Structures are given as C-alpha cells and as structure tokens.
Structure 1
C-alpha cells in the first residue's frame, strides 16, 4: 500500500486526539493484517469511495482509552462503553477521515465518506468491504492502545 495514502490518516488521528482530548499517541510499527478480529473493544469504521479509489478506515480503542478520551473531551467518564462512548468513537473516525480527505484532495485524490459505523465488544470483527491489502498501525498512549486499520483497493 502506498505510504501517501497512510500518512494523512496517521497525522489526522494524532492531531484529532491531541487537539480534542489532550491525548498523545505514539505510533508503533505498521503491519499487514488478514484477520478480521479487532484488537480493541470499540471501533469506528468508515467507507470512502472516489472515482479512482475505494477504501475504508477503522479506528479501534481499548476500553480504557475510549473512556479516558470521553472524560478528557466531555468531562464524563462512564464505567463501561455505552451509547455515548460509541457515538464519540464514530465522530472521531469521521474527524480523522475528514482530515485525511483534505490532505489527500490536495494530492489529487478525491473521495466521498460514508456515515461511520461503530462496533463494540470484546473480540468483535471489522470487515472492510474493499478488495485490497489491510494495514494496521498500533498506537500507545498513557491510557491504553488504539489501532488504525486502513484498506484501499490500490
């Protein structure tokens, strides 16, 4: 997968969480992924379609990190993942995808974004509806781990 597609998503995720939730993410080593099993507890998934590309993005958070982001963004800290936390994860996916979309459009890649879908629960799965390689990028923070999955047909 072309790094010019991946970097805008990494930069957008780091910036969104730093700006909106005062949370620093440190990226780990990107890897190819073939298993649909998510590594965390709550995932926001968003599809992207353009004239010359099709892809999807998911951002998965450990429960501890999702709850801490909720606390830092909204001042609330539920005991477990609930509907409000799920909505927040969907909105984060939307902001990250929107930020990457702006950068990629400057490089000549335009695409539309679907409404985010949120999946929760231990051992949930993420099914990218795109025929292409999947990359997973782990991130570490002071409150837990996050995982960015990107799949493009290019």
Structure 2
C-alpha cells in the first residue's frame, strides 16, 4: 500500500472517529481497510456524497453505510432521543453525518495536495441496496465497529 493510500485512509479514519465521538458520543474501532469488489452495500442505510476538484481534474465519492442497529443507535445517541425505526429523522441524520465526515476528511486531504469541494449528500435505504460510486476505479472500504453495531466508509476517486 503506497503512502497516498495510507494518507487517504488516515484522513477518513480520523474524520469518522472524530465526528462520531463528537456528535454521537460513540467510540469506533477501525477494521482492516480493503478494496471492495462489488457495488452492494454492507448495511441498510447509506449516505453518499460526491466531491470534485474545483478545476474539474478529478472527482470522487464517499459513502457511509450503517446497519439498521448502528444507524438507530448512533442517531439516538446523536439526538438524545430514542429512534426505533428508519424514518426521515434517521435518514436526515445519516446524510448530515456523511456530510460532516466527508468535509472533515476533505479538509485533511488538502495537506496532501488533494483539494475537493463537496456536493449535497443523498441517502439510500433498504437491505441489499446498491452504491454507485462515480468511478470504475478501485473502491477503498474501511470497516468500523461501534457499541451500536457496524458501519462502513467507502471512498473512490477518478
């Protein structure tokens, strides 16, 4: 694994860890990153956000996928209000967490010479849903475990 990929992983791990700790008082344990070989989500609720270089030279996507249990637990902790089903409140919070993690990671990538502007996130729900990243290049997946369950961050650049 080259230094650029290690740096990208570090930025997304730091952003995910920091945002979940700050916004939802949730600690995360990072799993081993890997290259994802399929488009299927490894969870039930996914926030997806695109980003692009201001000069149009490159673009990418980041997705944040939760199991139902982790989405409900993390959003409940974030809002100090018990959530018992995937509803508009939960999907809005997933979109906002996606936006915050992407924004913090993109801020860190500037130090690596990678400058990106973010788009507006969208949220996909349902078991077995598909995540369409902007590129056909490798999709870097970073698994996390929390006291509420698993989540996955995926990043792809073109």
**Correspondences of 1:1-154 after superposition (within 5 Å):** 2-50=5-53, 51=55, 52-153=57-158
> Shift of the alpha carbon at 1:22?
0.8
Q: Unaligned stretches of 5+ in structure 1?
A: none
Q: TM-score, normalised by structure 1?
A: 0.94
Over the aligned positions, Cα root-mean-square deviation in angstroms equals 1.2
Q: TM-score, normalised by structure 2?
A: 0.92
> Shift of the alpha carbon at 1:136?
1.0
Separation (CA, whole Å) in 2 of partners of 1:147 and 1:100: 15
Instruction: Give runs of ≥4 in structure 1 deviating > 2 Å.
Output: none
Aligned length in residues: 153
Separation (CA, whole Å) in 1 of partners of 2:82 and 2:127: 19
Q: Unaligned stretches of 5+ in structure 2?
A: none
Q: Which moved more, 1:70-79 or 1:114-123?
A: 70-79
